[in-house]
Structure 1
Amino acid sequence: METGAGAGRGPGRESGQDAVESGRSGVGRPYDVVLYGATGFVGELTAEYLAEHAPAGCRWALAGRSPAKLAALRDRLAAGRPHLAGLPLLTADSGDPASLRALAESARVVASTVGPYVWYGEGLVAACAEAGTDYLDLTGEPEFVDLVYVRHDARARETGARIVHACGFDSVPHDLGVLFTVGQLPEGVPLRIDGFVRAGAVFSGGTVASALTAFGRGPQTLRAARERRLHAPRLVGRRAHAPLGGPRFSTETGTWALPLPTLDPRVVARSAAALERYGPDFRYRHYASVRTLPMALGGTAALAATLVTAQVPPVRRWLMDRYAAGSGPSAERRARSWFTVRFVGEGGGRRVFTEVSGGDPGYDETAKMLAESALCLALDPLPKTAGQVTTAVAMGDALISRLRAAGLRFRVAHTE
């Protein structure tokens, strides 16, 4: 494991060692934040964001398999930022448990972009759970999340590690958007919230690989979900659920709503189960929002075709080979990308319409969400939590405040 001479410095909304110390709970570790998978497409974008926004006094480092690629990335980051010339570089590999253990023991927070996580992610989670190190990732893979809960949640609770999955577009806008919406509704009453997602963006090779892997592992995903249900405690005295629902025309948004069977509604339901503010009986439904019926039919057909073809290994491999890992859309294309998630919440005789929106969802904003999540866990005073927790449970309003300051929009459109 190679390390550089000094930690990175950069402008941010906080500055000075006092800002760092105010959120620090661990002692004796050289790094506040380590970014693992830094030389991948999203990893580089996250590193760029940290280079610009990590506050002075935040000790952060880059980690990955290739020392040469890490050094080249550091050189690019240091161009125009001479204070980053000594940014520490750590070598670790998902197939080398000793290197993952050393990585976890060196940091207070590790953020991983290395997927598909069901293939490459568990070793690092295990190392972080054992070391009491907070762990973040970008997974949208339900199987991986459930396996981590079954195998590592108990140990993480013992050591105090927080395991927070889905810290990008999966599932931050949805999880925190629902939390924001709940805050606009009365307390102690049944709540009903629907989320409607619209986006204009393209995908990278890594995203395609993760999606096809998840789609192609239906039986394994079902087994992992069943095993989780055997281990998870029952919610007593309250109800929190996220039914799939069916396609419909939404009069609230004036669009066709197609149910989205992604990780996002599961994350929202777990936040609702953990937080009493969501009321005694909470329901969330998650939809893709499309403007016309032909678009709705086309989207349904495309999703069905992807699900079917992902079950055929040769076809799945062919599709994955068409998208090179580490590749992604250009900066110009990302600048034209956008997302909007609209929420309609009801409870206690009140109805509220809220919205979370931003720029390129899969890359620029995902890098921002992951970096701000890591800084939030490392630096901000937060409620005491441990084990596998969601962004709403682990960071909640503190992360919303960070993301708003970073340019994401959380707003109340109107109320009734």
Structure 2
Amino acid sequence: MKTLDQIAARLQGYDPQALPAAAVNEFLARLVEPVEDTEDVAIADALGRVLAQDVISPLSVPPHDNSAMDGYAFDGAQLSPDAALTLQVVGTALAGRAWQGQVGPGQCVKIMTGAIMPAGLDTVVPQEFTRRAGEQAIEIPAGVLRQGDNRRHAGEDLMAGQPALRQGERLGPASCGLLASLGLPRVPVFRRLRVAYFSTGDEILSLGEAPREGAVYDSNRYTVRGLLDRLGCEVIDMGVVRDEPALLEQAFRRAASDADAIITSGGVSVGEADFTKAMMKQLGDVAFWRIAMRPGRPMAVGRIGNSVLFGLPGNPVAVMVTFLAFVRPALLQMMGCRDTAPPPLLRARSQEAMRKKPGRTEYQRGIVSTTPDGRLQVRTTGNQGSGVLSSMVQANGLIVLHHAQGSVAVGDEVDVMMFEGVV
């Protein structure tokens, strides 16, 4: 297990007092390690879990050549580009059972979607492309299809013996459906990541406490809890911890013994008159950063015992931004995911000018919409203060103004990190 100093030594130009956002992700990728314990879960309970090993398909999907249409199956070699084709209908093939008859030249079988293709037949003409040509005959006009059309081949989705899903994939609805299509009732996954979370500060009120002058209700616990729930983590909610050494030590020791990761909010800014930073230093190997970003400049990272520590700033928007930009990719890596990148960035035209100096990454709360001609456009939510939590409700993404980027003019394209499925 590498120390923080060993990790920092491998990062070019590492400066904890002016750390670029990209360097934060690189540092955390070297710091965290995936969990190793696994369990088998039912497919119905597998959504959001991470595969612990490759899933090898036990069968081919589909298992037989079958029809992709309701129509008529026949030997496509009989088609001519210049002449209509008339065929006698000699039977009906239904889904779920094989048709047992024989089909000769000049003949066809009425067939339903999903029905097994009778032997010797390779083409299906959709019913709406045909004309009646007598009591038990159809006519196919010239040029409406080619040999092999509308036939699904055995194994064209999945072949028996080949990987269907790879280790490290986070299972979504489509993945769960695919596993079910293979007849697999259970799947091996990594155990859930255990994350302990608490807020710090004497000015923080828990819900149910009476208001008092200078105090604010704890919103961070609930936004962080929602973000962790979206990731599928097992959350250990430790409430609000007062700024007292004994209470902080007790909380950190308990969190380190119970959880893979610890997340705190508040108490990591330079010059804060509290004991949170001191206790982090006392109990673990912890670095305190000033990140070249806005919002969310102060952040603490490291280890206490075997737990990875993420000390986030106290302002509500800064908590969410630093979580999305840095903590979420690190937690995905700890969960065993192969894809740990932040959400993909979309390009949208700015509807307003934005002032920015190169040298830091800025995350502006944005509202993305579509223009009448189908292009994406984005505007800010207005006040970008790091305590304006309502702006995160109004926004559907973060406008990402990169480290070296300058001011933005109306009509310039900018990158946007969308919230859908994350926030």
Q: TM-score, normalised by structure 1?
A: 0.29
Higher strand share: 2
Larger-Rg structure = 2
Q: TM-score, normalised by structure 2?
A: 0.29
Higher helix share: 1
